[in-house]
Amino acid sequence: MTNELIKSWVESANAPNCAFPLNNLPYGVFNDGSGARCGVAIGDFILDLAQVPLKSANHDLFAQPSWNAFMDAGADIWAAFRDEITSVLHEDSPPAPAWLVAQSSAEMLLPFAVTEFTDFFAGRHHATNVGTMFRGPDHALPPNWLHIPIGYNGRASSVVVSGCSVRRPHGQLKGPQDELPRFAPSMRFDFELEIGAIVGKNSAARLSVDEADDALFGYVLLNDWSARDIQAWEYQPLGPFQAKATATTISPWIVTKAALEPFRTSTPERDFELLDHLKDTGPMLYDIDLAVDLITQSGAETRITETNYAEMYYSAAQQLAHHSACGCPMRVGDLLGSGTVSGAEKHQRGSMLELSWGGKDPLLLSDGQTRSFLEDGDSVRLSGRAQAAGYCIGFGECLGTITPA
């Protein structure tokens, strides 16, 4: 793996801080008015795979408007295809501008068909903050938290791509002073800053951590929208249900594991040695800078969070290994949410619940407004990039705007 920029004949891909240099090559699905089809981001453009005479992969793999068939083709095809596209776009290869579509003229769609969605609760700072608010600092983490990555099965049907609006949900609400619950719109609607891992290989048996790592195809930014007041009433004893079924927004580009290899980093020091089926086998996380911007209806933008994926306590490979430990079959297109990525400092918190400390400390925005939770018309934009000396690996934005209930 190189830590130097690989130059392309697509000049915009060589620009400093370009999110999609030749080192990246993320996979998406786009429509420029000629139908939905698969493409690869390069600079300011999309390489239209329908136009490229491929040798490494059959065009049938890209006939459907998703990357699922390609993922199912296996790791050897993944590697050969990446090598071929790198060669096709390399500065030493003949330019073929007819194969390119401007990103600005294309609509981005869901890049893969989500088979199942599982969300985890695997960020220690987030879990500690939330636990402290509700149970006090002495009982912040549940007894099992430092031993297993806690998760719950979510709704694949409500996963949407960046740019889709998110309607404020209705649900049962019951405040601490209310005698009975009522049915009303959520007043404590929230975002959660996460990374989503995509399973690219079917399995029918328990996976080791290394096998789980090999089964992961790539990563997206993920916002697991959460209605905190609905959740507070419904979650005991089974956990989130309607509070997290409204929508989960993902970024439109799948950043492959291959692109992130130079950015591997270790998980935090363990309080307890993990059991054998979860033990670290090397650097399991990635050094990915993450940020959240809140944009009000008037257009005022405020950077409210800056953190890093390396803050996670459990990696996606460990989450997948644990998911399969009981014999649970995993499928191509399964999506695993990392859990909220928060750091130790206030500006590193990955949700409004933490940033406003349950509404007790409202957040001051750039235009003088304050927020405890999200209001109608607010947009939340997640961004992420892994930075090397000579290039960066960007994810594109993960954007959602709240509309009235």
Cite the active site residues: 126
Q: Please report which residue ranges of 278-325 form alpha helices under DSSP H.
A: 316-324
The answer to whether the CB of 320 falls within 8 A of the CB of 207 is: yes
Indicate if the alpha-carbon torsion angle 24, 30, 34, 35 is positive or negative: positive
C-alpha to C-alpha distance for 367 and 321, rounded to whole angstroms:
45
Say whether 272 sits in a helix, a strand or coil. coil
The answer to whether the CB of 324 falls within 8 A of the CB of 206 is: yes
The answer to whether the CB of 290 falls within 8 A of the CB of 263 is: no
Neighbour tally for 299: CB within 10 Å = 8
Q: Is the peptide bond before 21 cis (omega within 30 degrees of 0)?
A: no
Residue linked to tokens 């400093």: 16
Look up residue 310 and give its two tokens: 């390396």
Bridge partners of residue 111, in order along the sequence: none
Neighbour tally for 329: CB within 10 Å = 11
- Nearest CA to 181 out of 230, 114, 252 is that of 230
C-alpha to C-alpha distance for 262 and 256, rounded to whole angstroms:
12
Q: What are phi and psi of 79, to 5 degrees?
A: -70, -45
- Nearest CA to 255 out of 206, 209, 309 is that of 309
Say whether 81 sits in a helix, a strand or coil. helix
Start-to-end CA distance of the chain, whole Å, equals 48
C-alpha to C-alpha distance for 69 and 35, rounded to whole angstroms:
18
H-helix or E-strand spanning residue 84: helix 75-89
**Angle at the Cα of 93 (from 92 to 96), degrees rounded to 5?**
135
- Nearest CA to 20 out of 398, 395, 292, 381 is that of 395
C-alpha to C-alpha distance for 222 and 164, rounded to whole angstroms:
13
